[in-house]
Chains A and B, each alone.
Chain A
Amino acid sequence: MNGLALSGGFVDGPIQSAQAFRQIMTAMARPGEILDVSGAAPPAPLSIAAGTILLTLCDPETPLFLAPGFDIDPVRDWITFHTGAPFVSAGDAQFAVGVWKDLPIASFPIGTAEYPDRSTTLIVEVEDLCTQGFVLRGPGIKNSRTLSLPETEVFATNAQLFPLGLDFYFTHRSRLAALPRTTKVS
């Protein structure tokens, strides 16, 4: 393990993870709202936001899928040292990280009728995250919001699976926005 893996974690875990979670939760409660997080200084290509989500939510109980490009030693070592999350294939993942084109969307668990919570949360690294783009409606949104998204079809299909389905975080530098399965994209 490279010495760099040991750095870049939370300095004060309990407080920083509480602050980060508050933003991560608010994002999930208000789909499409862009929020700032901080605390993680992960190795490239992980963004601060993706790294902060991993530090806040992952541990040995959360199997993690790394898409190509992220499945590299520096990333693996950093995640292993700071979270202990085991690396798995997409079909067993509780969390996944990658860029859109490298995430095998159809392979992730979407939950079951009795346990819709047993589904994957995807952390999608994007090159741009802004409030121009597609229109979002649904729980957590007063009328509508707009958000930049890599496409619409996957999200439309995902919303039709409700209450099953995948939940997404989009991350860019220190910013993130969420798109749960309840959000209708047009």
Chain B
Amino acid sequence: MNAGTEKLEAINEMPSKSNDNPMLWLYGVKKTFGSNNVLQGINLKLPKSKSLVVIGGSGSGKSVMLKCILGLITPDDGSIFVDGEETVGLSIKKRNQLMHKFGMLFQGGALFDSLKIWENVAFGLIQGQQMARADAYYVAIERLRAVGLGKKVADLYPSELSGGMQKRVSLARAIATDPEIIFFDEPTTGLDPIMADVINDLITETVRDMGATALTITHDMGSVRKVADEVAMIYKGQIIWQDDVQNLDNSGNEYVEQFINGSAEGPITDDARKDGLI
């Protein structure tokens, strides 16, 4: 039995109060849309101040998993522990407090198009933390610079920016409030290779310097190797593999191997053929 499988078994054990809690712990999370069983029992553990990258095919439910953690979608079954606290079925008030711990970069950016760029970045500070607008403005400018955007864009509206620039603004907004746990849903898609590397560095720095815990979803293997402490692969609604990033290349899991090598033939394609999907 290789190390990856052992780790997966440790993750699959029932959550208990005794051992020191991981920052995030999903246990048996299920979600179905109509007849589409998207999540079929997700088990995932994310230690404090670590960076976990989740990989998996398009449509495998990665974004849905993030939305379950954030409480935007209520799972049909299972538990989600944040810092040892069960968060499924939390009251609106407690959920609101919990949200202060989170930062989220949405896959589509999700910038508020009626607000200026700097107001977008400062939104969590002004509305969530009641910071004065003038102070929040300077923080926003600072954050924008960190993602490679100058002062010039601050007064523009999201529709005036390119897709990649919007993505970076969205990233700046996600980290503006210094959250404890940050979720990045495909942070580097749509960026040029240089800017992608800047963003990878930024994520790494955020985890290292702010001590934040990060969960990143990406298809970009360069990004995986750069930002991940641990890697997990989601397949058919379950986590089929999770281990340290060093073991990614000798995972011993043929699904992971096919995915990271990006080969057209392999067990994933075979399964899809069997299911009549291709």
**Chain A partners chain B:** no
Which residues of B are interface residues toward A (Cβ below 8 A)? none
